[in-house]
Structures are given as structure tokens and as C-alpha cells.
Amino acid sequence: MADIDHLNHWLISEGRLLGDETQTVRGYCEGLVQLGVPLSRARIAQNYSNPLLSAWGIIWTPEETHRYTVPTTVLATSAWHGSPFEYVVTQRRPLRKRLTNLDLKTEHPVYAELAETGATDFLAIPLEHGNGSVQGTSFTSSAAAGFSDEHIRYIEDTRYALAAALEPIAMRHSQKSLLQTYLGHGPAEQVGQGHIKRGEHRTVSAAILFADLRGFTEKASAWPEADLLSMMGEYFEMVVTPIQDKGGDVLKFMGDGILAVFDIDDDAQASCRAAIKAAHQALANLRDYNDTAGDKGKEAIEFVIGIDFGRVTFGNIGSPDRLDFTVVGQAVNVASRLQGLCKKLDEKILVTQSVAKRMTSDVQSTGYHSVRGLPEEIEVFRV
């Protein structure tokens, strides 16, 4: 028991303070091996409190240790249903399978996959967190005799310390992923670093992109709610994905509008180029969508994009008990007004002179136009 006590103590002291799930799991598995457990593979999974991600986890083998994530869509597939992880999470009980005398054709495919790698024994156990959630873990042996009763006792007697070491890490990951999902990467970093006081702000020079869906009011009054929500989900995806791929942050979904900010390494030209590239890719996605919409029984849609560059301020605004992390500034207002000009000028993308002068690709002036909120007309460009 002294050796088990040593491993448990390491988990709740040094292992917990590492703050790195990969190192913690590696140290734990190597500790089991030192105790004589014939471990060939371990998989330690942790739930995400996130609408887009189901779980993250660590896979350990003697050769390497690596991290993985599981999207929520997996929960609707056979990879989850009937799996040993579903069993231990829902039943809160261990699961043992000797793979050498198992009819693999009648079992979940994961057992056959492990057997093909030479695995002989499989053990899955639940890890319980203080909030009542249950995490799934599994241990595999390739030894001829598999796990002995003593080996299994070692694993079961250290699972509480393992859960104690991983729970604070899991909480931090869930908090960070939730902030990024709802605020965007940049604002999430700011909030995560403690910049959360009302009125606290940071001023940067950035490209502001504003996308707006055409004819949304008419669609909202005429389309069935399910069709409207489905279309909006596809619209958001075809715009948001390029924004994120090009290093931008989506700050707001305002009805059918999308507000994004590009602050690429404090580089004005890089920020403007990234915003333009994201806009072009979004419109390419729109063309692909509309090309097949009719065949799928859907209506074609249209959206437009306005982009400006200038000084904007990130910050927390709101009442004492309800805050919103947002961005304000003239560039935000101008970008939102450009989408109105797009309709008037029959354009898909319009940018200001502040953006155009930082582009190496061809831009063409559409002349000077009045923009609500500005005292003078501004020159607007098509890209």
C-alpha cells in the first residue's frame, strides 16, 4: 500500500499542480507501470461544459501521450452508443472485458480494434467529479495474463486521486472553451486574464467586418420557424468559419447580423487582408450553397459584407450585475452602415478607404457616399 499511497500523494500534490493534463496522465500511467501493472494503453476522458464539444481526453501509450477532443455530434453515433465509455458514464460502474475469449463480432467495434493491436484485457472505470458528473477512463493490457486482481485494485484505489488531480484542469478547460464559444478568442483571453470590471477597456486598431443577411424580415414572417433557424445556422456557419480561419473573432450575432474584428499582430495591412480573405471565402461558400439549394428544396439566400479599419475599444459595458464584452468605435458603425450601401450599389462587399489603401489587390472606387452618423461623405470601394 505504501507505493499506492505514494502515487495518490503525487496525484493530489505535484501531479495536480502541474496544471498540464498530458503530464499528469503520463506521470500517473508511468506510476502504475512502476507498481507492476502491465499497462499498454490508457485513455482518460473528461467532459466539456460546451455546446459544441462533448469531451477532451488523453491517450497514453509507452511510446507517446497525446490529447484529443470529441465533438458533440459523436454522441449521436455508434461510436458512443453501446461503447464502454457510455456504460461507465451512465451506469457509474466499472466494466471488465477479457479480449482473448470474447466474441468480438457481437461486441462494440472498439474491442475488435483493441484486439487487433494485440490487447488481451480491457478495464473501464468511472471517475466522479464534485459536481456529480462522471468521466470515462479505460486501461488496456497486452500481457498474456492481462490484469490480475491486484492490478485492478491498484487502478481502483487511485481513481479518486486521479479525479482530484484532473477536475480543476477540466474546470479551467470548460471555462475557457465556453468563453471562446460565446465571446470569441480575443475577448475570452481578456476575460480569462481577469479584465472583467465594468468600464475596463482596451483600445486597438483593427479591421471590422459586418455581415448582414438580405431579406431577413420577409423570411422571418413567411418561413416556418424550423426552416428559418436551419437557414440561419447554415448562413452563420458559412460566414463564421472563414472569419475564424483567417484569425478574426466573431463578437456578436445581432439578429441576422454578424460583427467580427480582425487584429492580426497589431499589423494594419495583415488585419485588412485577413478580413477581405474571410469575406471572399464567405461569399464562395454562399455560391456553393445557392448552387445546390434548389436541388435540396431550399431557397437561395444573399448576404452582404462591409469592412472598415480604425481605432476601436474592447470593453465591458452594462449594469452592475449584467455585463457584456463588446467593441465600440466609429469603425464599427461605418462597417455596419456599408451593408446598407451594398444594397443601394448592388455590391456584395464594400470597404472604406482605410481598408482599400492597405490592399495590394485591385480595388475600385464607387465614389463618395453619405453614411448615417458621419458629417461628410466617405469614399467607398468595391474589391
Distance between CA atoms of 69 and 337, rounded to whole angstroms? 40
Of 208, 209, 207, nearest in space to 304 by CA: 209
How high is the pLDDT of residue 193?
A: 67
Residues sharing a CB contact under 8 Å with residue 187, sequence separation 6 or more, in sequence order: 179, 249, 251, 314, 325
Task: Please identify, among 182, 212, 246, the residue that sits at the C-terminal boundary of a domain.
Answer: 182
Question: Does position 36 have pLDDT exceeding 90, yes or no?
Answer: yes
Question: Does position 313 have pLDDT exceeding 60, yes or no?
Answer: yes
The strand pairing partners of 69, in sequence order, are 56
DSSP 3-state of 192: helix
Residue range 59-72, pLDDT digits in tens: 999 999 999 988 88
How high is the pLDDT of residue 197?
A: 63
Distance of CA 187 to the CA centre of its chain: 14
How high is the pLDDT of residue 200?
A: 67
Question: Do 157 and 227 have their domain in common?
Answer: no
Question: Do 193 and 204 have their domain in common?
Answer: yes
The strand pairing partners of 203, in sequence order, are 313
The strand pairing partners of 71, in sequence order, are 53
How high is the pLDDT of residue 83?
A: 93
Distance between CA atoms of 268 and 357, rounded to whole angstroms? 10
How high is the pLDDT of residue 270?
A: 94
Using pLDDT thresholds of 50, 70 and 90, give the confidence band for residue 186.
low
Q: In this structure, how many other beta carbons lie within 10 angstroms of the beta carbon of residue 76?
A: 9
Phi-psi region of 245 (alpha: psi -120 to 50; beta: other; left: phi over 0): alpha
Question: Do 32 and 142 have their domain in common?
Answer: yes
Residues sharing a CB contact under 8 Å with residue 270, sequence separation 6 or more, in sequence order: 264
Of 2, 30, 12, nearest in space to 159 by CA: 12
How high is the pLDDT of residue 265?
A: 86
Amino acid at 332: V
For residue 147, the domain's CATH number is 3.30.450.40
Residue 220: C-alpha distances to residues 28, 94, 100, 256, 302 (Å): 55, 50, 59, 10, 14
Structurally, the chain folds into a number of domains equal to 2
How high is the pLDDT of residue 19?
A: 85
How high is the pLDDT of residue 178?
A: 72
Residues sharing a CB contact under 8 Å with residue 347, sequence separation 6 or more, in sequence order: 304, 341, 366, 382
Question: Do 10 and 111 have their domain in common?
Answer: yes
Which cell numbers hold the place of 317? 459595458
- Of 73-82, 234-243, 244-253, least confident by mean pLDDT is 73-82
Residue range 268-291, pLDDT digits in tens: 999 999 999 999 999 999 999 999
Question: Do 208 and 329 have their domain in common?
Answer: yes
Amino acid at 355: V
Amino acid at 323: L
How high is the pLDDT of residue 100?
A: 92
Question: Do 131 and 256 have their domain in common?
Answer: no
Residue range 85-128, pLDDT digits in tens: 999 999 999 999 999 988 988 999 999 999 999 999 999 999 99
Task: Please identify, among 151, 182, 213, the residue that sits at the C-terminal boundary of a domain.
Answer: 182
How high is the pLDDT of residue 1?
A: 43
Task: Check residue 205 and report its DSSP letter.
Answer: E
How high is the pLDDT of residue 188?
A: 67
Distance between CA atoms of 131 and 112, rounded to whole angstroms? 34
The strand pairing partners of 369, in sequence order, are 378
Question: Do 104 and 80 have their domain in common?
Answer: yes
Question: Do 173 and 194 have their domain in common?
Answer: no
Question: Do 150 and 290 have their domain in common?
Answer: no
Mean per-residue pLDDT for 22-32? Answer: 96
| Residue numbers of the domain that contains 363 | 185-382
How high is the pLDDT of residue 190?
A: 66
Residue range 200-210, pLDDT digits in tens: 667 888 999 99
Task: Please identify, among 148, 182, 216, the residue that sits at the C-terminal boundary of a domain.
Answer: 182
Using pLDDT thresholds of 50, 70 and 90, give the confidence band for residue 192.
low
- Of 3-7, 30-34, 212-216, 369-373, least confident by mean pLDDT is 369-373
Predicted model pTM: 0.66
Which cell numbers hold the place of 279? 469575406
Question: Do 224 and 290 have their domain in common?
Answer: yes
For residue 232, the domain's CATH number is 3.30.70.1230
